[in-house]
A and B are shown apart, each in its own frame.
Chain A
Amino acid sequence: MSARRALKAVLVDLNGTLHVEDSAVPGAQEALKRLRSAPVTVRFVTNTTKESKRDLLERLTGLGFDIAEHEIFTSLTAARNLLEQQQVRPLLLVDDKALPDFTGIGTDNPNAVVVGLAPEHFHYEMMNRAFRLILDGAPLIAIHKARYFKKKDGLCLGPGPFVTGLEYATDTKATVVGKPEKTFFLEALRGTDCAPEEAVMIGDDCRDDVGGAQQAGMRGILVRTGKYRPADEDKINPAPYLTCENFPEAVEHILKQML
């Protein structure tokens, strides 16, 4: 690790790392303050198909974190950036709550399809509409491809199955924009003037956070909070750069060893 360049940016996962559901990880607010005293750019990165940046900001601020909206980068932001780069007008199959993140993006006469988690849109009419657009050449953009998620009353289909159905029918591949895609991590660094080798990612998901970041050329620190289960660190190769008890310990390591 001696050839490593100096650290310039720290990417931090939200749920499971800074907070678990509605409680902050003990000491995380204070640790974030200490991290900000160092000469590094901080970005908060998360996979979400439902919560807009404003919703996330509101929750984090409520938990006592000092965070600005422009520091948050989500899978919805990644989708938005892709739409802007490709200059396309999306048919948005996303939850209404996510729509604020697409403010200003034209959706008339759509020529792209964005699929998030939107059970209310996953019906025959809308699927046919999306299908016809894709068959006519519209790019298919998936916020992520989760198979299912858990609700109080049981398991529910995620966006992945619907994306897969559209891929099969149109013989195309969706562009997946969320973690663990390499482009997600590279996009999160955009505007920071920082190369992947100069960044570290802290998260509780070994594959999506740590593995994804390391595939993109960053270092990855796994924290044993949130969804972490013993031996998660053995799930990826190469192994995480480091595994810590929690976010404050990860910050200590960065301040002492990585600057």
Chain B
Amino acid sequence: MATCGWARAVRGLLLDVSGVLYDSGADGGVPIAGSAEAVRRIKASGLKLQLCTNETQATRENFVRKLRALGFDISVAEVTAPAPAACRLLKERGLRPHLLVHDDLVPEFAEVDKTNPNCVVLGDAAENFTYANLNEAFRLLIGMEKPVLISLGKGRYYKETDGLKLDVGAYMKALEYACDVQAEVVGKPAKKFLESALAELGVPAEQAIMIGDDIVSDVGGAQQCGMRALQVRTGKYRPSDENHPEVKPDAYVNNLAEAVDIILQHL
């Protein structure tokens, strides 16, 4: 443990969810071995805990229900997710969205005026990423004097139980290219989003560690906010991540359980 300087002076943990706590899938997903126990140990230790996810395939309530069913002791307040943050942004700026999102996310936007849309909100729409739906979003954007595209995260891909899947970022890039616009990202690795998660965690950046499986969104995003960040070798992790040209985590751990072991030993 002599080389675990990164584990000192920690008061709170920010955890990515998919690929760290569980591997998602059409069947509801499966927990990653040791992760439920690791969450319990974090809470028992007195460390603060906040989940920071780019999950946009479900409302936070349903997402938490799913996590609880998988054995995770988590409440809605402990989850920071893009959709509620996007709703705040839409209200602040008087934007009326056309939604290209997963059916199960739509209730998050119940309170938002969606008539005569003046922006497009893109989430991980999965099966809703049809040519017709993408074309509809494209035509709205290309018809706007100043197209506004808001993307809930910009992840490249993630892992489900039956394999890797394209994430919202690929479709965000497709629409950016088609309309020659730059999307505004609400979700990791956007600094504003990670800072809001940090505020909910309630500890300063230098006393927080982010743990995730995405080298860019989780590790890179957290480090830009002044946090330490670990990459787990679960979820979408690929060995080539360890040669990433721009992002280097403060450490690699095999899984969340190992990270928690080391952190608790340094308390």
Chain A residues packing against B (C-beta within 8 Å): 119-120, 122-124, 127-128, 131-132, 135, 147-148, 154-158, 160-162, 164-171
Contact = CB atoms under 8 A, between A and B. Distances in A.
Contacts of B167: 169
B136 to A, nearest CB: 10
14 contacts: A122-B131, A123-B131, A124-B129, A124-B130, A128-B164, A131-B165, A135-B164, A157-B134, A160-B178, A161-B134, A161-B138, A164-B174, A169-B170, A171-B156
Interface of A is mostly: helix
Interface in B130-173: 130-131, 134-135, 138-139, 142, 156-157, 163-167, 169-171, 173
B163 A162 contact: no
A169 B177 contact: no
B127 interface: yes
Contacts of B164: 128, 131-132, 135
Nearest to B175: A161
Contact of B178 (A119, A147, A166, A171): A147
B188 to A, nearest CB: 16
Given A119-B135, A155-B142, 13 more contacts: A147-B180, A156-B135, A157-B134, A157-B174, A157-B178, A158-B178, A161-B178, A165-B171, A168-B156, A168-B169, A168-B170, A169-B170, A171-B156
Nearest to B238: A135
A27 B135 CA distance: 41
Interface of B: 126-131, 134-135, 138-139, 142, 156-157, 163-167, 169-171, 173-178, 180
B5 to A, nearest CB: 31
A188 B17 CA distance: 52
B173 to A, nearest CB: 4
B131 A157 contact: yes
A165 B128 CA distance: 16
Interface of B is mostly: helix
A135 to B, nearest CB: 7
A158 B177 CA distance: 10
A165 B170 contact: yes
Residue from the set A120, A131, A156, A161 with the largest chain B CB neighbour count within 10 Å: A161
Nearest to B240: A171
Nearest to A147: B178
Contact of A148 (B128, B131, B138, B163): B138
Contacts of B127: 124
A145 B126 CA distance: 24
Contacts of B170: 127, 131, 165-166, 168-169
B162 to A, nearest CB: 10
Contacts of B128: 124
Contacts of A157: 131, 134-135, 138, 174, 178
B157 A123 contact: no
Contact of B129 (A127, A147, A164): A127
